[in-house]
Structure 1
Amino acid sequence: MWKREKIWMIKPPTEHPKESKYRPVLESLLPRDPMSRFNLKRSSPKDEFPNLDRNHTLMGRILNLHMYTRQFNRATESGVIFDDIIRPGLEDPGQSTGPKAVGCLAGDAQSYILFCDFFDHIIESYHGYKVTTDTVQESDFNYDNLKGGDDFDQAYAMSCEVTAGRSIEDYCFPTHCSRGERRQLFTLAKTVLEQLGEDLPGKLYSIDELSHESEDRRAVMDSPPLSLIKISVARDWPDARALWLSEDGTLAIWVNMEDHLKLVSYRSDACLQEAFKTICINVLKMETLYKKLRHPFIWKPHLGWVVSSPAEVGTGLKASVTVKLLHLAENKRLDDILDRLRLQMEATGCLGIYKISNLQTIGVNEVELTQLVVDGVKLLIRMEKRLENNSGIDDLVPAQK
């Protein structure tokens, strides 16, 4: 009883007239929760939870009601909500066989921070790499450190390709950006590519120009790819999309497609070493040019180079070699071999021809990643030769990853 009386004796703090007068002004200066700006007509998280019964993406496997509820009332400062993140995987639920799709895309760089509980699970599942605040992603663009890649057996290695994605600071990613942002990004790219062309001559084509009537027959695009339509990247097509092609054919740069920038070096001689060198040199040049314009590439210490897909964060780099593997493709140990080599294999549509590429892009630097592909492809070709001669391959299988 004494305690209760004592509590009632406590007086509320004295409120001064000026505090009452200026409180609304002070409160208006506090940063608002972005979600409070919206008036979304949504039910409870349980009622809004998507049907994932036939979803074959990593998102469909990882997402549950508890995780969905935790992300439900969050929004980034640019207005990305969790339903925007998972929509690509709902529009395209993936296939039960073949490479596993992540089924989600970030709308902006802040998405990886605000929805980290979800994205960290996706990254760990896809890359086999656990994201922590203590880990730092390293970069190595010293192409001279790469051993091999110019000596594949030409009877088996048919072509190669290295790509690198980059996103620009202060802009939303293609799934979420506005028309104005996309046009500003195009203007920035145009300025940078003009300067890049001083060392590597090339030409910038708008998507409108990439038609059947285009003088340059190396690239033709009459309509947006279905893959871009499904992930909402083809909005306002073809506004502010472009392709830059070097005159010597060693480099192509896509603007405002899956990412703000996508550098591609393709070679019909399967010389992965030269393709990697081309990417390294020009990524570094473009990074310097964008920094001069005060719009650097997005980098987070624990994630590395940040792009829209969690399948490519870290280095943003994909290296691939197209290889003829008629016998190995039928071998029952193939999936286990690829898993141990940390590689993935895609059919090209031609009998016995497959595209071998890295799966992981984070936790290793650019040289290490490309070295995995070089060494892995050489080993796969050795195995193919053994099988052609009706010999075993068990002694060639790596003991572990």
Structure 2
Amino acid sequence: MAQGPKECRVKCVLRAMDEAYARLLQSDSKSLLKKYLTQEMYNELKEKRTPTFGSTLLDCIQSGLMNLDSGIGIYAPDPEAYAVFAPLFDAIIQDYHLGFSPAQTHPPLEWGELTAFQNLDPENKYIISTRVRCGRSIEGYPFNPCMTEDHYKEIEQKMTNAFQGLGGELSGTYRPLTKMPKCEQERLIDDHYLFKEGDRFLKAAKACRFWPVGRGIFLNKDKTFLTWVNEEDHLRMISMEPGGDLGNVYRRMIEGVNAIQQQVNFSRSERFGFLTFCPTNLGTTIRASVHIKVPKLSADKEKMKSVAETHHLQVRGTRGEHTESEEGIYDISNKRRLGLTEFQALKEMQEGILEIIKIEQSL
């Protein structure tokens, strides 16, 4: 019997994926995708689909196949992918999240006691700014590779309604990218408020389709609480301010997240906590970071690396992931987000930053 157009397309896609996977195996890629996706596992998973949105293995690994310099190389196209493609996700998650095994479950949400956090740099000698952000996905929707144009519009409308309910310190305005002049976008990007299109890893993962439809930013009046809509995750809620007052920044983020959660339901699993597009952001999804100037310590790359590893910190360039440091300024944050509480993640970051400042002072 002759094959129909659909069967032919499926065969073509599988053949192209086979060829791309073979190139990955033959490459010198250091990605976790290459490390854990064995030929046996690949054969087991390559024709599976998630039950609700029909996501495939290709939807998960296409970015890592196209970008052989990826560190991770995999994204979840929908919440069910973490279960359907569990052999691969579990192995990568255990490696990245420092031993979070398939037998473990993420603890319940615990913001903790705010008085445990302090101003990390009261004399403003080292820390330029502090931010705490978390990602959230809205229940009932897939993630980027499987989202339709209508999905983006629906999520944006839900969030527009939710933002109208924010009051006091959190009150502000939602600005859709479709109505924002390019010059204003560029100014907000330069000031580290707004995300930008063009990350090749996200593009390869089909996270930028229908751009700029459904994308936008909410900013409170003081620009100290903001929410990105439909960038990498459905939502990225961020609290930020100049200086090193981690306690105040964390407090504001908690208030914002709790207020928005009253308006929309977030995707969460018992095993992984809050579910996100990238497996590096599972669990608390918390990323607490500072822009910090440490020219003496940063001159000793090995010492900088050692301190970061000891305190489970991630060191990035001035403008974030895949960028270089400018004038000795780094973006330093907690690396662990899964298998510990929100409170523990913040404490880990605070202790690491205080140690970095102490070392810089001693040099």
The TM-score with structure 1 as length reference comes to 0.78
Q: CA-to-partner distance for each residue in 1:358-383, whole Å, 9 max, x for gaps?
A: 11110111111011111111111111
Distance 1:44 1:330 in 2: 45
> Match for 2:355 among 379, 384, 397?
379
- Say what the alpha-carbon RMSD is for the aligned residues: 2.6
The residue aligned with 1:85 is 60
> Match for 1:300 among 269, 279, 282?
269
> Match for 1:163 among 113, 120, 133?
133
Q: CA-to-partner distance for each residue in 1:340-364, whole Å, 9 max, x for gaps?
A: 1111212323122111111111011
Change in CA separation of 1:44 and 1:94 when aligned onto 2, cut-off 3 Å: closer
SS of 2:23's equivalent in the other structure is coil
The TM-score with structure 2 as length reference comes to 0.86
The residue aligned with 1:280 is 254
SS of 2:145's equivalent in the other structure is coil
Contact 1:45–1:69 (CA under 8 A) maintained in structure 2: no
What is the deviation of 1:266? 2.0
The residue aligned with 1:333 is 303
> Match for 1:74 among 35, 48, 52?
48
Structure 1 unpaired stretches of 5+: 1-35, 96-100, 291-295, 388-401
Whichever of the two has the greater Rg, that structure is: 1
What is the deviation of 1:61? 2.5
Change in CA separation of 1:50 and 1:166 when aligned onto 2, cut-off 3 Å: farther
Q: How does 1:93-242 map to 2 (within 5 A)?
A: 93-94=68-69, 101-197=71-167, 200-212=170-182, 214=184, 218=188, 224-227=197-200, 228-242=202-216
The residue aligned with 1:323 is 292
Alignment partner of 1:357 is 2:357:
no
Specify the code of the residue in structure 2 equivalent to 1:297.
Answer: F
What is the deviation of 1:123? 0.9
SS of 2:10's equivalent in the other structure is coil
Distance 2:196 2:296 in 1: 38
Contact 1:158–1:270 (CA under 8 A) maintained in structure 2: yes
SS of 2:332's equivalent in the other structure is strand
Identity of counterpart residues, as a percentage?
Answer: 24
Contact 1:91–1:231 (CA under 8 A) maintained in structure 2: no
Change in CA separation of 1:223 and 1:330 when aligned onto 2, cut-off 3 Å: closer
Change in CA separation of 1:307 and 1:58 when aligned onto 2, cut-off 3 Å: same
Which structure dedicates a bigger proportion of its chain to helix?
Answer: 2
Specify the code of the residue in structure 2 equivalent to 1:351.
Answer: E
Structure 2 unpaired stretches of 5+: 1-5, 319-324
Distance 2:19 2:86 in 1: 23
Specify the code of the residue in structure 1 equivalent to 2:249.
Answer: A
SS of 1:163's equivalent in the other structure is strand
Specify the code of the residue in structure 2 equivalent to 1:313.
Answer: L
Q: Which deviates more from structure 2 when the two are superposed, residues 354-363 or residues 105-114?
A: 354-363
Contact 1:210–1:222 (CA under 8 A) maintained in structure 2: no
Q: Which deviates more from structure 2 when the two are superposed, residues 217-226 or residues 52-61?
A: 217-226
> Match for 2:222 among 238, 248, 258?
248
The residue aligned with 1:265 is 239
Specify the code of the residue in structure 1 equivalent to 2:278.
Answer: S
Specify the code of the residue in structure 1 equivalent to 2:50.
Answer: T
What is the deviation of 1:279? 1.1
SS of 1:119's equivalent in the other structure is helix
